[in-house]
A and B are shown apart, each in its own frame.
Chain A
Amino acid sequence: MTDEMTWIIQAQHGEDEGFTFLVETYQKPVYNLCYRMLGEAEAAEDAAQETFLKAYQNINRYDRERPFPTWLLSIAAHYCIDRLRRKRFSSFSIDEDEEGQTELPDTSAPDPESEAVKKQTRERLQGCLQSLEPVDRAAVIMRYWQDCSEVEIAQALKLTVPAVKSRLHRARRLLADLWEEKPTRIHRERKPYGSPAF
């Protein structure tokens, strides 16, 4: 029996220690999904915490035949989708650094210029992601960051496999269109204090 299964069984028997190990193990993928879905560090933290609370409350309903990360990500994805539907978030702006998730270029890094480029890529991508429909966004995040298969995404988002395929294609086409548009905007909307050297 794997460690993970031991923790799950412990958690299902009401032992909080087992669940704590699960939180420790899966906090990063769950937080990442929430962050990529919601685009704000504070909201992502709240959503990730709520995801684990929901998982804690429903741990006895977890089917041990299914992969645990997929089940957990399914809860996170549905929570974020509901949240996005309930409340329209103000659109992500690349000019706003978010509280708690500020990604300034690391000047102590060997190559600060490349760090700045990476940061710009991350922001540009995050900006594009925010334009996707919530379910498509969840599918893309699970595919690329969580390495989930189309079958796992279908299970998690309660879709059919062809629907997942079609959503992923549509989302990637849209992302590519936005990707083409964004650089122009980024360069045009350079921060007043931004160095022209970048």
Chain B
Amino acid sequence: MDHRPFEDWLLENKKLNTDEKRQLNAHLRSCQTCSALAEVDLALKSVRLAEPSAGFTDRFQVRLEARKKALRQRNFWGFFVLTVSVVGLLAWACWPFIQSIVQSPVSMLASWLSSVVSIWASAEALFQGGRVILKVVPGFVPTYVWMILLLIAGGWSLLWVFSLMKLTKIPQGA
């Protein structure tokens, strides 16, 4: 008989009937390859689980504590370095202002106040202009255009929400 079916039976761990078992046994006596395959299969099935030495869980807890401590330290130093860097960067960027405040605080304060007043006046003007536009424009735009615009806005919002949900979904497994 051909070598092939016996090797396939062994590799597929096929359930054999009595006649097939007899044929396989006869083949195993003459075929070294299939015999080795069967022997390895038997050895793999018979070798017991390797076990860790006693106290594995205790050692894990010690390691976990050490890892948590290291993480806390890393976080602390990370935060410290970040804070120092940001403060340093801000100080470097604001150095000319700090210098001018120290040298002439009154003129600096006056200049700031004039800037605030000018920003306030611009905002007021924009607000008034906006109010006028809002009063005039609805009269020119028909109702169905408003409905279309609302539908488009709703569609965009839904798309945005679904995209966000898809993108932020946490992948499973490690």
A residues contacting B by CB (< 8 A) are: 16, 20, 23-24, 27-29, 31-32, 35-36, 41, 44-45, 48-49, 52-56, 58, 60-63, 66, 71, 74-75, 78, 100-101, 121-122, 124-125, 128, 140, 144-145, 168-169, 172-173, 175-177, 179-180
B40 and A101 within 8 A (CB): no
Q: Which of B44-52, B112-120, B146-154 contacts A (4 or more CB under 8 A)?
A: B44-52
Interface residues of A: mostly helix, strand, loop or mixed? Answer: helix
26 contacts between A and B (CB under 8 A): A23-B56, A28-B49, A28-B51, A29-B49, A32-B50, A36-B50, A45-B59, A52-B60, A54-B174, A60-B170, A61-B171, A61-B173, A61-B174, A63-B172, A71-B173, A74-B173, A101-B50, A121-B46, A124-B43, A144-B44, A172-B37, A172-B40, A173-B11, A177-B33, A177-B36, A179-B36
In angstroms, Cα B3 to Cα A113, docked, is 36
- Closest CB of chain B to A144's CB: distance in Å? 4
| Total of A-B residue pairs, C-beta within 8 Å | 106
Interface check B64, CB cutoff 8 A: yes
In angstroms, Cα B20 to Cα A152, docked, is 30
Interface check B17, CB cutoff 8 A: no
A31 and B52 within 8 A (CB): yes
In angstroms, Cα B57 to Cα A27, docked, is 8
Residues on A with C-beta less than 8 A from B63 are 49, 53
A44 and B60 within 8 A (CB): no
- Select one of B37, B39, B172 contacting A173, CB under 8 A: B37
In angstroms, Cα B40 to Cα A177, docked, is 10
B36 and A176 within 8 A (CB): yes
Q: Interface 1/0s, chain B 16-35, versus A by CB < 8 A? A: 00000000000000001100
Q: Interface 1/0s, chain B 141-171, versus A by CB < 8 A? A: 0000000000000000000000000000011
Return the chain A residue nearest B63 by Cβ: A49
- Select one of B46, B52, B171 contacting A45, CB under 8 A: B52
B40 and A27 within 8 A (CB): no
Interface check B41, CB cutoff 8 A: yes
In angstroms, Cα B32 to Cα A36, docked, is 26
Residues on A with C-beta less than 8 A from B174 are 54-55, 58, 61, 71, 74-75, 78
